[in-house]
Amino acid sequence: MSERFENVPCTICGQQNAEVFMTGSGPARVVRCRNDGLLYMSPRLKPAIIREQHKTFVRADNLEMFTGFRRAMLRREARAIQRLKPGGRLLDIGCATGTLFGFFQGSGWRLHGVDTSQTGVELAAQQYGAEVFCGTLQEARYPSRSFDVVSILDTLYYNPQPERELLEIRRVLKDDGLLALEIPGYNYRLMRERGPLCWLLNGAWVRGFANCSHLYFFSPRTIRRLLANAGFRIVRVVPEQASISVAGFGLLLNHLHFAAARLLFHLIGVSIAGKELYLAVKAA
Ligand SMILES: [Zn+2]
């Protein structure tokens, strides 16, 4: 194995008892833990290399990814959060350029953002008046029980140690605080990686998790387990739309898929949505 990669234990059970689920083109593999079913990348790039990649995640040439097509989703997610928490201190982890803050502009909110991208946090501070920290949540060393809402949207699966991240979120969240966690939909993700939908959208039967920056693929069961282990209780799950980076017919299909996914979720509780928002509180 290349010295850039390392084998890692499962973040839920702490053991290395996994079978290969899917291989890609390089040394990275997606494995499934035999104990709890968690799908994760192992071997994967070493943390220092991952950290370097994240620093340039937000760049002058890809700002549209953060300011453009995510906007409609973030507006809906902000509304879902504000239904439960109408004001207070919001911390957005992985805030990128701060697009989420645009939907928390009332006087009742104080905005804080964390991101390892300097370009991202500078824009978030300039555009939305957010207090920002360039680095990781662990490095920010916020005092305990500081925030009414902590959001981590489409970000947790990049973190090499998600359980440690959730424990730190729990520490900085007020006792009656709200966690808003958005992750990719598991069923949707699997359908995108192989089979007919993969062929339709990517022109190949197997994509094989080609994007090895995603370290975890949480299912409804494994994310529930991870949140419970970190001391959280889920109060609501909201199906969300797949990322829209396409126009024309692809965009229409995306909207149709989202409508079908919402209906299916409300009818039988099964999610084929592109993303899922978990709202959770501290467990008693
Ligand atoms: Zn495990």
- Going from the Cα of 102 to the center of ligand 1, the distance in angstroms, rounded, reads 38
Which pLDDT does position 201 carry in this prediction? 75
CATH code for position 109: 3.40.50.150
Answer positive or negative: Cα dihedral of 106, 109, 110, 111: negative
Within a domain: 196: no
- Going from the Cα of 38 to the center of ligand 1, the distance in angstroms, rounded, reads 6
Q: Which residue's entry shows tokens 């833990």?
A: 33
Within a domain: 25: no
Q: Which of 239, 240, 241, 234 is nearest to 279 (CA)?
A: 234
Within a domain: 97: yes
Within a domain: 115: yes
- Going from the Cα of 235 to the center of ligand 1, the distance in angstroms, rounded, reads 24
> What six digits make up the tokens of 1?
């194995």
- Going from the Cα of 108 to the center of ligand 1, the distance in angstroms, rounded, reads 41
Question: DSSP strand E in the chain: where?
Answer: 5-6, 18-23, 29-33, 39-41, 44-45, 88-93, 109-115, 131-134, 147-153, 173-184, 216-217, 232-240, 275-282
- Under 8 Å between Cβ of 248 and 162: no
Within a domain: 2: no
- Going from the Cα of 252 to the center of ligand 1, the distance in angstroms, rounded, reads 38
- Going from the Cα of 18 to the center of ligand 1, the distance in angstroms, rounded, reads 8
> What six digits make up the tokens of 258?
């989202």
Which pLDDT does position 1 carry in this prediction? 63
- Going from the Cα of 40 to the center of ligand 1, the distance in angstroms, rounded, reads 10
Sheet-wide strand order for 29-33: 18-23, 29-33, 39-41, 216-217
Q: Residue 99 sits in which domain range?
A: 47-184+218-282
As for how many domains the chain has, the answer is 1
Answer positive or negative: Cα dihedral of 132, 213, 154, 74: positive
Within a domain: 124: yes
Within a domain: 118: yes
For the chain (284 residues), the mean pLDDT of every run of 10, in chain order, is: 88 95 83 96 89 78 72 94 97 95 93 94 95 97 98 94 97 98 92 80 73 86 97 96 74 87 92 94 94
Within a domain: 85: yes
- Going from the Cα of 206 to the center of ligand 1, the distance in angstroms, rounded, reads 25
Which pLDDT does position 209 carry in this prediction? 67
